[in-house]
Amino acid sequence: VGHDQINTEIVTLTRFLTEEQAKHKEATGDFTLLCHALQFAFKAISHYIRRATLVNLTGLAGTSNTTGDDQKKLDVIGNDLFIAAMRSCARVRVLVSEEEEECIIFDEWPHARYAVACDPIDGSSNLDAGVSVGTIFSIFKLAEGAKGTKEDICLPGTEMVASGFTMYGASAQLVITMKGGSVNGFTLDNNFGEFILTHPNMRIPKKRAIYSVNEGNSLYWEEPVKEYVNSLKYPDEGGKPYSARYIGSMVADAYRTLLYGGIFAYPADKKSPKGKLRILYECAPMAMVFENAGGLAVDSHMRRMLEVVPQHIHDRSGIFMGSEQEVQKVIDVHQKYQ
Protein backbone atom coordinates (compact mmCIF):
# COMPACT_ATOMS: atom_id res chain seq x y z
CA VAL A 1 0.00 0.00 0.00
CA GLY A 2 1.44 3.34 -1.03
CA HIS A 3 1.87 5.90 1.73
CA ASP A 4 -0.66 8.17 -0.01
CA GLN A 5 -3.35 5.50 0.40
CA ILE A 6 -3.15 5.45 4.18
CA ASN A 7 -5.68 7.71 5.83
CA THR A 8 -3.82 9.65 8.48
CA GLU A 9 -6.84 11.81 9.35
CA ILE A 10 -8.79 9.08 11.11
CA VAL A 11 -11.72 10.42 13.10
CA THR A 12 -11.96 8.38 16.25
CA LEU A 13 -14.93 8.73 18.56
CA THR A 14 -12.62 10.49 21.00
CA ARG A 15 -11.64 13.05 18.38
CA PHE A 16 -15.24 13.42 17.25
CA LEU A 17 -16.38 14.12 20.82
CA THR A 18 -13.55 16.59 21.39
CA GLU A 19 -14.50 18.45 18.20
CA GLU A 20 -18.18 18.43 19.19
CA GLN A 21 -17.34 19.80 22.61
CA ALA A 22 -15.31 22.61 21.05
CA LYS A 23 -18.46 23.73 19.19
CA HIS A 24 -20.23 24.39 22.49
CA LYS A 25 -18.69 27.29 24.37
CA GLU A 26 -20.62 26.53 27.53
CA ALA A 27 -19.57 22.85 27.57
CA THR A 28 -17.83 21.71 30.74
CA GLY A 29 -16.56 18.41 29.35
CA ASP A 30 -18.89 16.39 31.57
CA PHE A 31 -20.85 15.01 28.63
CA THR A 32 -17.64 14.12 26.79
CA LEU A 33 -16.37 12.23 29.84
CA LEU A 34 -19.67 10.41 30.15
CA CYS A 35 -19.35 9.35 26.51
CA HIS A 36 -15.83 8.10 27.10
CA ALA A 37 -17.19 5.86 29.85
CA LEU A 38 -19.96 4.71 27.51
CA GLN A 39 -17.53 3.76 24.80
CA PHE A 40 -15.51 1.70 27.24
CA ALA A 41 -18.67 -0.17 28.27
CA PHE A 42 -19.41 -0.89 24.59
CA LYS A 43 -15.90 -2.18 23.95
CA ALA A 44 -16.00 -4.41 27.01
CA ILE A 45 -19.49 -5.78 26.28
CA SER A 46 -18.50 -6.41 22.66
CA HIS A 47 -15.42 -8.30 23.84
CA TYR A 48 -17.37 -10.57 26.20
CA ILE A 49 -20.14 -11.21 23.71
CA ARG A 50 -17.59 -12.46 21.20
CA ARG A 51 -16.11 -14.75 23.83
CA ALA A 52 -19.53 -16.01 24.97
CA THR A 53 -20.42 -17.07 21.45
CA LEU A 54 -17.46 -19.40 21.51
CA VAL A 55 -18.66 -20.80 24.81
CA ASN A 56 -22.11 -21.29 23.35
CA LEU A 57 -20.70 -23.07 20.35
CA THR A 58 -19.08 -25.65 22.61
CA GLY A 59 -22.38 -25.79 24.44
CA LEU A 60 -24.12 -26.77 21.23
CA ALA A 61 -21.73 -29.66 20.88
CA GLY A 62 -23.16 -31.42 23.92
CA THR A 63 -23.88 -29.38 27.03
CA SER A 64 -26.84 -27.46 25.68
CA ASN A 65 -28.63 -27.52 29.04
CA THR A 66 -26.17 -24.98 30.41
CA THR A 67 -26.75 -22.53 27.56
CA GLY A 68 -29.53 -20.76 29.37
CA ASP A 69 -27.19 -20.17 32.28
CA ASP A 70 -24.43 -18.80 30.06
CA GLN A 71 -26.79 -16.42 28.43
CA LYS A 72 -27.99 -15.18 31.77
CA LYS A 73 -24.40 -14.67 32.82
CA LEU A 74 -23.80 -12.51 29.80
CA ASP A 75 -26.84 -10.37 30.54
CA VAL A 76 -25.49 -9.91 34.04
CA ILE A 77 -21.96 -9.17 32.81
CA GLY A 78 -23.23 -6.60 30.32
CA ASN A 79 -25.33 -4.94 32.98
CA ASP A 80 -22.50 -4.92 35.53
CA LEU A 81 -20.03 -3.50 33.01
CA PHE A 82 -22.45 -0.76 32.08
CA ILE A 83 -23.25 0.17 35.65
CA ALA A 84 -19.57 0.22 36.61
CA ALA A 85 -18.74 2.50 33.69
CA MET A 86 -21.55 4.89 34.54
CA ARG A 87 -20.72 4.93 38.24
CA SER A 88 -17.00 5.45 37.76
CA CYS A 89 -17.28 8.36 35.35
CA ALA A 90 -18.77 10.43 38.21
CA ARG A 91 -21.06 12.30 35.83
CA VAL A 92 -24.19 10.19 36.22
CA ARG A 93 -26.68 10.64 39.05
CA VAL A 94 -29.53 8.37 37.92
CA LEU A 95 -29.31 5.13 35.94
CA VAL A 96 -32.08 2.95 34.59
CA SER A 97 -31.23 -0.46 33.18
CA GLU A 98 -33.56 -3.03 31.66
CA GLU A 99 -31.87 -5.56 33.94
CA GLU A 100 -32.60 -3.64 37.15
CA GLU A 101 -36.10 -3.42 38.51
CA GLU A 102 -35.34 -0.25 40.42
CA CYS A 103 -33.67 2.92 39.33
CA ILE A 104 -30.03 3.16 40.46
CA ILE A 105 -29.13 6.40 42.21
CA PHE A 106 -25.43 7.19 42.53
CA ASP A 107 -25.44 8.95 45.88
CA GLU A 108 -21.67 9.16 45.76
CA TRP A 109 -22.09 11.77 42.99
CA PRO A 110 -24.73 14.16 44.36
CA HIS A 111 -23.69 16.88 41.91
CA ALA A 112 -23.59 14.71 38.79
CA ARG A 113 -25.86 16.27 36.17
CA TYR A 114 -26.82 13.38 33.92
CA ALA A 115 -29.31 10.55 33.89
CA VAL A 116 -28.83 7.51 31.65
CA ALA A 117 -31.18 4.72 30.61
CA CYS A 118 -29.91 1.57 28.91
CA ASP A 119 -30.65 -1.87 27.67
CA PRO A 120 -27.17 -3.39 28.10
CA ILE A 121 -27.74 -6.35 25.78
CA ASP A 122 -30.88 -5.97 23.73
CA GLY A 123 -31.99 -9.05 21.85
CA SER A 124 -30.15 -11.36 24.22
CA SER A 125 -32.55 -14.21 23.43
CA ASN A 126 -30.70 -14.36 20.09
CA LEU A 127 -27.24 -14.79 21.60
CA ASP A 128 -27.13 -18.57 21.36
CA ALA A 129 -27.68 -18.38 17.63
CA GLY A 130 -24.87 -15.90 17.16
CA VAL A 131 -27.31 -13.25 15.95
CA SER A 132 -26.34 -9.61 16.41
CA VAL A 133 -27.33 -8.00 19.67
CA GLY A 134 -26.54 -4.53 20.97
CA THR A 135 -26.71 -1.88 23.64
CA ILE A 136 -29.30 0.90 23.50
CA PHE A 137 -28.88 4.09 25.54
CA SER A 138 -30.45 7.45 26.18
CA ILE A 139 -28.90 10.36 28.03
CA PHE A 140 -30.81 13.10 29.82
CA LYS A 141 -29.51 16.20 31.52
CA LEU A 142 -31.03 16.55 34.96
CA ALA A 143 -33.19 19.57 35.67
CA GLU A 144 -31.69 22.26 37.87
CA GLY A 145 -32.19 21.19 41.49
CA ALA A 146 -33.15 17.61 40.58
CA LYS A 147 -33.08 15.44 43.71
CA GLY A 148 -31.89 12.26 42.10
CA THR A 149 -35.04 10.17 41.98
CA LYS A 150 -36.68 8.04 39.33
CA GLU A 151 -39.04 10.90 38.53
CA ASP A 152 -36.04 12.77 37.15
CA ILE A 153 -35.84 10.37 34.25
CA CYS A 154 -39.51 9.68 33.49
CA LEU A 155 -39.31 12.23 30.70
CA PRO A 156 -40.36 12.34 27.06
CA GLY A 157 -37.68 11.62 24.48
CA THR A 158 -37.64 15.28 23.46
CA GLU A 159 -35.70 15.88 26.70
CA MET A 160 -32.82 13.60 25.75
CA VAL A 161 -29.49 15.28 25.06
CA ALA A 162 -28.16 12.25 23.22
CA SER A 163 -29.06 8.69 22.37
CA GLY A 164 -27.91 5.80 20.27
CA PHE A 165 -27.13 2.14 20.11
CA THR A 166 -24.43 -0.33 19.33
CA MET A 167 -24.73 -3.48 17.30
CA TYR A 168 -22.25 -6.26 17.95
CA GLY A 169 -22.34 -7.83 14.51
CA ALA A 170 -19.63 -8.77 12.03
CA SER A 171 -17.96 -5.76 13.59
CA ALA A 172 -19.13 -3.59 16.47
CA GLN A 173 -21.09 -0.58 15.20
CA LEU A 174 -21.98 2.49 17.21
CA VAL A 175 -24.67 4.90 16.13
CA ILE A 176 -24.95 8.10 18.14
CA THR A 177 -26.91 11.31 17.83
CA MET A 178 -27.22 14.45 19.89
CA LYS A 179 -30.20 16.72 20.34
CA GLY A 180 -30.88 18.61 17.13
CA GLY A 181 -27.77 17.08 15.54
CA SER A 182 -26.90 14.61 12.87
CA VAL A 183 -26.55 10.84 13.23
CA ASN A 184 -23.06 9.41 13.06
CA GLY A 185 -21.95 5.81 12.76
CA PHE A 186 -18.67 4.41 14.07
CA THR A 187 -17.03 1.02 13.61
CA LEU A 188 -14.85 -0.52 16.28
CA ASP A 189 -11.37 -1.10 14.90
CA ASN A 190 -10.16 -3.99 17.02
CA ASN A 191 -6.51 -3.29 16.19
CA PHE A 192 -6.71 0.31 17.35
CA GLY A 193 -9.26 -0.42 20.06
CA GLU A 194 -11.07 2.69 18.84
CA PHE A 195 -14.44 3.46 17.34
CA ILE A 196 -13.74 5.06 13.94
CA LEU A 197 -16.18 7.37 12.17
CA THR A 198 -17.21 5.30 9.16
CA HIS A 199 -20.77 6.56 8.57
CA PRO A 200 -20.82 10.34 8.96
CA ASN A 201 -24.18 12.12 8.80
CA MET A 202 -26.37 9.06 8.25
CA ARG A 203 -29.58 9.78 6.34
CA ILE A 204 -32.32 7.20 6.06
CA PRO A 205 -33.72 6.78 2.52
CA LYS A 206 -37.15 8.43 2.13
CA LYS A 207 -38.75 5.10 1.20
CA ARG A 208 -37.92 1.45 0.63
CA ALA A 209 -40.11 -1.60 0.15
CA ILE A 210 -38.95 -3.53 3.23
CA TYR A 211 -41.04 -4.18 6.33
CA SER A 212 -39.82 -5.63 9.60
CA VAL A 213 -42.35 -6.94 12.09
CA ASN A 214 -43.07 -10.16 14.01
CA GLU A 215 -45.94 -11.49 11.90
CA GLY A 216 -46.47 -14.27 14.40
CA ASN A 217 -48.38 -11.66 16.39
CA SER A 218 -50.79 -10.84 13.54
CA LEU A 219 -53.64 -12.78 15.21
CA TYR A 220 -53.56 -10.17 17.97
CA TRP A 221 -53.10 -7.08 15.79
CA GLU A 222 -55.67 -4.30 15.69
CA GLU A 223 -57.50 -3.74 12.39
CA PRO A 224 -55.39 -0.79 11.14
CA VAL A 225 -52.17 -2.75 11.60
CA LYS A 226 -53.64 -5.73 9.74
CA GLU A 227 -54.83 -3.50 6.92
CA TYR A 228 -51.49 -1.71 6.71
CA VAL A 229 -49.37 -4.86 6.55
CA ASN A 230 -51.78 -6.47 4.06
CA SER A 231 -51.46 -3.41 1.84
CA LEU A 232 -47.71 -4.05 1.67
CA LYS A 233 -48.12 -7.73 0.87
CA TYR A 234 -51.03 -7.40 -1.52
CA PRO A 235 -50.49 -4.11 -3.37
CA ASP A 236 -52.94 -2.70 -5.87
CA GLU A 237 -52.88 -4.08 -9.43
CA GLY A 238 -49.37 -3.73 -10.88
CA GLY A 239 -47.68 -2.91 -7.56
CA LYS A 240 -44.77 -4.93 -6.23
CA PRO A 241 -45.10 -6.50 -2.78
CA TYR A 242 -42.66 -5.54 -0.02
CA SER A 243 -39.83 -7.73 1.23
CA ALA A 244 -40.06 -8.98 4.81
CA ARG A 245 -36.96 -8.83 7.01
CA TYR A 246 -37.17 -9.61 10.71
CA ILE A 247 -34.15 -10.53 12.75
CA GLY A 248 -35.89 -10.25 16.12
CA SER A 249 -33.09 -8.14 17.50
CA MET A 250 -34.11 -4.51 17.52
CA VAL A 251 -30.62 -3.09 17.10
CA ALA A 252 -30.01 -5.23 14.01
CA ASP A 253 -33.43 -4.56 12.49
CA ALA A 254 -33.03 -0.86 13.25
CA TYR A 255 -29.51 -0.67 11.83
CA ARG A 256 -30.60 -2.25 8.56
CA THR A 257 -33.64 0.01 8.38
CA LEU A 258 -31.46 3.06 8.97
CA LEU A 259 -29.08 2.10 6.17
CA TYR A 260 -31.49 0.68 3.60
CA GLY A 261 -34.76 2.34 4.52
CA GLY A 262 -38.13 0.69 5.08
CA ILE A 263 -40.08 0.28 8.30
CA PHE A 264 -39.61 -1.49 11.62
CA ALA A 265 -42.68 -2.05 13.75
CA TYR A 266 -43.51 -3.57 17.09
CA PRO A 267 -47.16 -2.56 17.46
CA ALA A 268 -49.25 -2.74 20.57
CA ASP A 269 -51.80 -5.52 20.12
CA LYS A 270 -54.68 -7.29 21.85
CA LYS A 271 -52.30 -9.50 23.80
CA SER A 272 -49.89 -6.68 24.74
CA PRO A 273 -52.00 -3.50 24.76
CA LYS A 274 -48.98 -1.43 25.75
CA GLY A 275 -46.67 -3.07 23.24
CA LYS A 276 -43.49 -4.93 24.08
CA LEU A 277 -40.60 -2.52 23.74
CA ARG A 278 -39.67 -0.16 26.57
CA ILE A 279 -39.95 3.58 26.11
CA LEU A 280 -36.91 4.85 28.00
CA TYR A 281 -34.23 2.55 26.64
CA GLU A 282 -35.66 1.07 23.46
CA CYS A 283 -38.31 3.22 21.77
CA ALA A 284 -37.26 6.79 22.59
CA PRO A 285 -33.53 6.49 21.85
CA MET A 286 -34.26 4.75 18.54
CA ALA A 287 -36.88 7.38 17.70
CA MET A 288 -34.33 10.16 18.20
CA VAL A 289 -31.84 8.39 15.93
CA PHE A 290 -34.48 7.91 13.23
CA GLU A 291 -35.81 11.47 13.41
CA ASN A 292 -32.34 12.96 13.31
CA ALA A 293 -31.55 10.79 10.29
CA GLY A 294 -34.60 12.20 8.48
CA GLY A 295 -37.04 9.41 9.33
CA LEU A 296 -40.11 9.19 11.54
CA ALA A 297 -41.14 7.28 14.66
CA VAL A 298 -44.65 7.05 16.11
CA ASP A 299 -46.37 4.95 18.76
CA SER A 300 -49.50 2.81 18.26
CA HIS A 301 -51.70 5.90 18.80
CA MET A 302 -49.78 7.60 16.00
CA ARG A 303 -48.27 10.06 18.47
CA ARG A 304 -44.76 11.23 17.86
CA MET A 305 -42.71 8.64 19.76
CA LEU A 306 -40.41 11.28 21.22
CA GLU A 307 -43.35 13.01 22.91
CA VAL A 308 -44.59 9.95 24.75
CA VAL A 309 -44.04 10.31 28.50
CA PRO A 310 -43.29 7.07 30.35
CA GLN A 311 -45.41 6.60 33.47
CA HIS A 312 -42.71 4.49 35.09
CA ILE A 313 -39.13 3.59 34.20
CA HIS A 314 -39.97 0.29 32.47
CA ASP A 315 -43.10 1.55 30.71
CA ARG A 316 -43.74 0.10 27.24
CA SER A 317 -45.08 1.38 23.97
CA GLY A 318 -45.97 0.23 20.48
CA ILE A 319 -43.63 1.65 17.85
CA PHE A 320 -43.43 2.21 14.09
CA MET A 321 -40.20 3.74 12.86
CA GLY A 322 -38.36 4.12 9.61
CA SER A 323 -38.39 5.97 6.32
CA GLU A 324 -40.59 9.05 6.26
CA GLN A 325 -42.88 7.83 3.47
CA GLU A 326 -43.23 4.35 4.95
CA VAL A 327 -44.23 5.59 8.41
CA GLN A 328 -46.58 8.10 6.76
CA LYS A 329 -48.45 5.15 5.20
CA VAL A 330 -49.02 3.70 8.67
CA ILE A 331 -50.33 7.03 9.90
CA ASP A 332 -52.64 7.35 6.87
CA VAL A 333 -54.18 3.90 7.40
CA HIS A 334 -54.71 4.59 11.12
CA GLN A 335 -56.37 7.91 10.33
CA LYS A 336 -59.14 6.11 8.43
CA TYR A 337 -60.08 4.33 11.66
CA GLN A 338 -60.20 7.44 13.88
Q: Which residues bind to Mg ion, rule: CB under 5 A?
A: 119, 122
Burial tier of 131 (Cβ tally within 10 Å: 0-12, 13-18, 19+): middle
Rule CB under 6 A: say whether 70 interacts with ligand AHM: no
Binding of ligand AHM by 248 (CB under 6 A): yes
Q: Provide the CB-side half-sphere exposure for 212 (13 A, CA).
A: 26
Indicate which single residue of 214, 230, 311, 335 sits in contact with ligand AHM (rule: CB under 6 A): 214
Interface positions, 256-275, toward ligand AHM (CB under 6 A): 266
State the binding partner of 328 from Mg ion, ligand AHM, none, CB within 5 to 8 A by kind: none
User: For Mg ion, which residue has the nearest CB?
Assistant: 122
Encode burial over 270-292: b for 16+ CB neighbours within 10 A, e otherwise. Answer: eeeebbbbbbbbbbbbbbbbbbb
Part of the chain binding ligand AHM (CB under 6 A), chosen from 64-72, 141-149, 244-252, 255-263 = 244-252
39, 71, 124, 292: which one binds ligand AHM (CB under 6 A): 124
Among 97, 132, 249, 317, binds ligand AHM (CB under 6 A): 249
Four-point Cα dihedral 124, 130, 131, 132, nearest 10? 80
Please, which residue, 109 or 255, has the CB nearer to ligand AHM?
255
214 binds, among Mg ion, ligand AHM, none (CB under 5 to 8 A by kind): ligand AHM
Region of 31-39, 197-205, 248-256, 320-328 interacting with ligand AHM (CB under 6 A):
248-256
Is 255:291 a contact under the CB 8 Å cutoff?
A: no
Strand ranges for the chain from DSSP E: 92-97, 104-105, 114-122, 134-141, 160-168, 172-178, 183-189, 194-199, 210-212, 243-244, 263-266, 296-298, 319-322
Residue 98 within binding range of ligand AHM, rule CB under 6 A:
yes
The Cα–Cα gap between 169 and 192 comes to 18
Query: Under the rule (CB under 6 A), what is the footprint of ligand AHM?
Result: 98, 119, 122-125, 214, 248-250, 266, 276
